[in-house]
Each structure stands twice: as C-alpha cells, then as structure tokens.
Amino acid sequence: MSAGPTDTTAISAPGKVLLAGGYLVLDRAYTGLVFGLSARINVIARAIETSPGVQLSEIVVDSPQFQDAKWTYGYHLADEDGGIQVTQLQTGTTANANPFVETTLSYALTYVSSLAKLSPAHSITASRLTILADNDYYSQPDNVSSTPSQRFTRFPTTLSGANKTGLGSSAALVTSLTAAVLSHYLPTTLFDIYTAAGKDTLHNLAQAAHCAAQGKVGSGFDVAAAVYGSCTYQRFSPSVLEGIPEPGQPGFSTTLQNVISGSGWDTEIAKGSVALPAGVAVRMCDVDCGSQTVSMVKKVLAWRSSAPEDSKLLWDTLQERNGKLATVLRDGAVDELPAAIGSIRELVRKMGTESGVPIEPESQTELLDAVSTVEGVYGGVVPGAGGFDAVSLLIKDDEATASRLEAFLAKWSQDKGGRVRLLKVKGEMEGARKEDTSIYGGWIN
C-alpha cells in the first residue's frame, strides 16, 4: 500500500559528526569517517483540508519549537520546462526568508512534478510540513530545561537567534524535508526510502538542493550521513551539479531529473567499513563558542596550494591514520583506540600550525588531553573543520563513565569560566527513516 496526499507522513534524518577526515574530505582522492547521530530532524507532512470545490496552491511550513517560525509558500508550474516555482507569501508582520526550506521545496516538488506524468493521481496538492528538531541541535539557554522524556523543547527565541551545536542541522533538514515531500506525494512504486534506488534518489536530490541553498558545492558528507547513516565517504565531483538552471528557469525540470537519475554521480559511500565496537559510544560535547568554518577552510586550502609537496605528504599520512582508526573500531580493538586517536590529533595540530588555522586550538588541546584521563574515555577529537565549537569523544558506553564525564566537564567549566557540556546525542548507524507519528505528542494536532 502506498502513501497518498491525504495521509500523514513522517520522516527523520540524523545529524553527523566527521570523526576523521576534516579537510581531506574536500578532495576526491581522500575519504572521511562520518558517523550519523541519534539527534534527528523530523518533518511531518499532512494534507491541508479544504472545503469542497476550494483549491489551494499553498504549502505551509512551521517549526513550532521557535518563535515566528512559520513560512507560507505559493507554488505554480513555470513555463518552458521551468519546474515548480515556489514563492514565499507574506503572512502577518514577519516573513523571514528560509532559503534551505524554499530551495528544497522547489527541487523536491519539481522532481515530483516530473514523475507525475507517470502517476497523474499523485499530483501536487496543498500541504502542511512541520519541522521538529531534537534538542541537542541547539545550545539550550540557562532558562530552558528539558527532561529526558521531553524530546522537543520549545525555545524562547527565533530560529535565527538560536545557537547551533554544529551537528549538521541544515543537511538533516534538507534530507528529511526532501524525503517527506517525495514520500507524501509519490507512491512507493516511484519512491521508497527503504530501497537502494530510493536512497540514491534521496541522496542525489538532497545534495543538489543543499548545495543550491548554501550557494556552493560542498563536500556533501553531511547529506550522505543524513541519508545513509554512518559510513566512509568519498565526495562527488562538483561538475555533477554544473549546469542546473535556477528553479523556474527554462529547462530546470528536465535538467534536474537527468542529474538526479543520471550515471554521473561518482560518490563512494561504504557502509560496511564503519562500525562501533560493542560497549563503545561516540559522544559529543558542546563548547559554547563557535567558529567561522568557511574562512578556516579557505586558509587551509590556500596553504595546501602554496605548499603542495609538504601538504600532500601530511594529507596522505593523515589518510592512513584515519583508515587505521576505522579499522580499530571495526575490529573492536578497544585497547588500540587511544593511540589511534592520538596519532590523528598529532597531524591535525601540525596541519593547523602550518596553515595558520586553529583546527585544534590550544584550549581544545588542553580540554581533550584532560578529558582523556577520565576513566572510560578512550580519547577525542575536534571534529570536522575543527575550531572552538565542539569536541567528539569515544567513551565506554555505560552510566558510570557518563556520570564521571559530566562531573569532570562541570568542574572544568567552573574552573575555566566557559561552558562545556555533554550532549545526550550518541553515534548511531541508521540514516533517514520513516517514523510513527505517535512520537510527536501534541506537536501536530
């Protein structure tokens, strides 16, 4: 039985942590070791009921955890194969743009429209899309407290005013929103999130929409984790997405469909090469500072261009050590974890010194060295592009270790005058999936 536009469809996609392969993952010659996280962004799609004979061409998107987080869009089929053009409608006194939502809707609805010829009954009708994010995506203000049973907190701020913890919210949002739209409007014969073909379609479409929304072609490891879960990832060639017109422009629909279903995707995603030993968990610490990732990346790439031989040697060696960590994890060689993590950190610091970029800043070095002495902590890294806003730890997965770690971080924060806290989120293997709507309580009445 396939879902239809009158049903309620719920999809979630995980956040990510690039445990090893920061900067390397920008180059197709190298790979990244990326873990999906238990923190998920959920999108619930429902039809908007109208009076008999009344037709609406509207999609309402709301994020009820935040203030003024509601966007209403009109949509129409553009001329000259321009696909579905989405336009934000002014509602009330506020109409802040949300480029990730708007772009994703244009891409996903255009893809649905291109397949509607195969299934005319599943045409695009008015719908409501509700976004709910697990609490760990945002640094919670002191005046907000959530109990373990309270999965979704109502924050006393606008979405733009919330401090992100760096778990990959935009990629998880684009992925879950894309999957919710496709699952809501298309029968499972045309899109099924649990088939290999469905996952590939979701990956390609979400990558295209995410790159368009952020105005550049990124490495894509965050979207890959949102779709497939934990994996080793080798990026796609940026040329794959060249030549896609803007939504509404002539040829957008056919070009997009050809790109999504085409054979040009050279992404390498290996699920079987990643595992966590029994009793070991990936945990994240929120370090409430923040880094300018874009400027850091530019500086590292500039250093790489200016010192090609030295940088290649460093990157090649770091790739080997990253591979060693993946092997140690997959083989369950827990005793080897501290040395494997330490050898990676050594080269990351060297890259930072030579490029003049604080990939593992001194304050994070001090924190990681100290926290690694806590019983049950095997070690940790500053993940992804590095900087001041998070650390990722590999720890023994039991309550005693978590309690020792939380006590240590509380004292560290008090002594150093900062705010470092252990997030509830853990590494997990699964990617995008359907959800039972009963988990959302009163959020979707």
Q: What's the 3-state SS for the chain?
A: CCCCCCCCEEEEEEEEEEEECCCHHHCCCCCEEEEEEEEEEEEEEEECCCCCCCCCCEEEEECCCCECCEEEEEEEECCCCCCEEEEEECCCCCCCCCHHHHHHHHHHHHHHHHHHCCCCCCCCCCEEEEEEECHHHECCCCCCCCCCCCCCCCCCCECCCCCECCCCHHHHHHHHHHHHHHHHHCCCCCCCCCCHHHHHHHHHHHHHHHHHHHCCCCCCHHHHHHHHCCEEEECCCHHHHCCCCCCCCCCHHHHHHHHHHCCCCCCEEECCCCCCCCCEEEEEEEECCCCCHHHHHHHHHHHHHHCHHHHHHHHHHHHHHHHHHHHHHHHCCHHHHHHHHHHHHHHHHHHHHHHCCCCCCHHHHHHHHHHCCCCCEEEEECCCCCCCCEEEEEEECCHHHHHHHHHHHHHHHHHHCCCEEEEEEEEECCCCEECCHHHHHHHHC
According to the model, what pLDDT value does residue 165 have? 82
Angle at 322 (CA atoms; ends 317, 324), nearest 5 degrees: 95
Cα–Cα distance, 445 to 442 (Å, whole number): 6
Q: What average pLDDT does this structure show over 312-324?
A: 98
According to the model, what pLDDT value does residue 163 have? 82
Q: Is pLDDT above 80 for 232?
A: yes
Asked which of 9-13, 44-48, 266-270, 414-418 is least confident by mean pLDDT, the reply is 414-418
pLDDT category, 294, cuts 50, 70, 90?
low
Q: What average pLDDT does this structure show over 219-248?
A: 96
Q: Which residues have a Cβ under 8 Å from the Cβ of 1 and sit 6 or more positions away?
A: none
The CATH architecture assigned to 280-428 reads 2-Layer Sandwich (3.30)
| CATH 3.30.230.10 applies to domain 9-272 | yes
According to the model, what pLDDT value does residue 59 have? 94
pLDDT category, 93, cuts 50, 70, 90?
low
Q: Is pLDDT above 70 for 53?
A: no
According to the model, what pLDDT value does residue 1 have? 38
Predicted confidence (pLDDT) per residue in 372-393, tens digit: 999 999 999 999 999 887 899 9
According to the model, what pLDDT value does residue 426 have? 95
According to the model, what pLDDT value does residue 295 have? 84
pLDDT category, 54, cuts 50, 70, 90?
low
Q: What average pLDDT does this structure show over 386-408?
A: 95
Q: Is pLDDT above 90 for 15?
A: yes
Q: What average pLDDT does this structure show over 18-28?
A: 96
Angle at 111 (CA atoms; ends 121, 224), nearest 5 degrees: 130
Furthest-apart CA atoms within the chain: distance in Å: 70
Q: Is pLDDT above 90 for 117?
A: no
* Tokens 């990351």 -> residue: 348
Predicted confidence (pLDDT) per residue in 266-293, tens digit: 999 998 889 999 999 999 998 865 555 6
Asked which of 72-86, 279-293, 405-419 is least confident by mean pLDDT, the reply is 279-293
Q: Is pLDDT above 90 for 161?
A: no
Q: What average pLDDT does this structure show over 345-352?
A: 97
Residue spans per domain, the chain: 9-272, 280-428
Task: Provide the mean pLDDT of the chain.
Answer: 91
According to the model, what pLDDT value does residue 62 have? 94
According to the model, what pLDDT value does residue 273 have? 84
Q: What average pLDDT does this structure show over 197-208?
A: 98
Within 10 A of 425 (CB to CB), how many other CB atoms are there? 23
Q: Is pLDDT above 60 for 147?
A: no
pTM for the whole structure: 0.93
Q: Is pLDDT above 60 for 6?
A: no
According to the model, what pLDDT value does residue 138 have? 87
pLDDT category, 367, cuts 50, 70, 90?
very high
Q: What average pLDDT does this structure show over 231-256?
A: 96
